[in-house]
Structure 1
Amino acid sequence: MGASKVDIYSESINAMASIAKVFAHPARVAILQYISKQESCICNDIVDEIGLSQPTISQHLQVINNAGLLKGNFKGKSICYCLNVERFQEFQSQFNAFFNKTKSNCC
């Protein structure tokens, strides 16, 4: 697949695409659901819960984090993750606005 020309699109379109990419993979959705159900920041528990290898989980966490949907901090040698609720709310507003403005004029 060729390289995306993200620089030709607006910042808001690129942000929406970045977040949509997160929700386009079932493992990422499962990771987000798991994190959202935790009462505190979690570290290596994701690997045990989701059932994928640690490197695979790390790759998915990187995509989720790049979209701004995670907050993380270091505890010893581990990174603890929790959801960035403010970013989720921004995402919800962006998608609601997109779908409310988009109308079908064909067939």
Structure 2
Amino acid sequence: MPRIHLRITGDRDIFDDVLTAIHGVDRVERVEEIDDFMNDFRDDSSSQNLSDDMSSRTYTMEIEVPNEKIGERVREIAEETAGTREAAIEFVDPDENEI
């Protein structure tokens, strides 16, 4: 069963909107927020915790779909929903974090 991992950078309300929109896609098996252990990590500590950086966070979601056709629909819905709210969205390879 294909899995999609995505990250959204923005307000919690935007993440919740994307989560709700994905729940509305027929045949989606599972949608779950997952902890992103790298969320508070920054490569550049010189700008860490500045006011500009504290207004948005990164939220991570995992979605299970029965096939790639449904997966493509989920990606479209997520991009459209995040885009209308001007949030950054990134689709992540699920194996990227495994070492």
- Could you state the TM-score of these two structures normalised by the residue count of structure 1? 0.29
Q: Determine which structure has greater relative contact order: mean sequence separation of CA pairs < 8 Å that are 6+ residues apart, divided by chain length.
A: 2
Larger proportion of helix: 1
Larger Rg: 1
Which protein is richer in strand relative to its size?
2
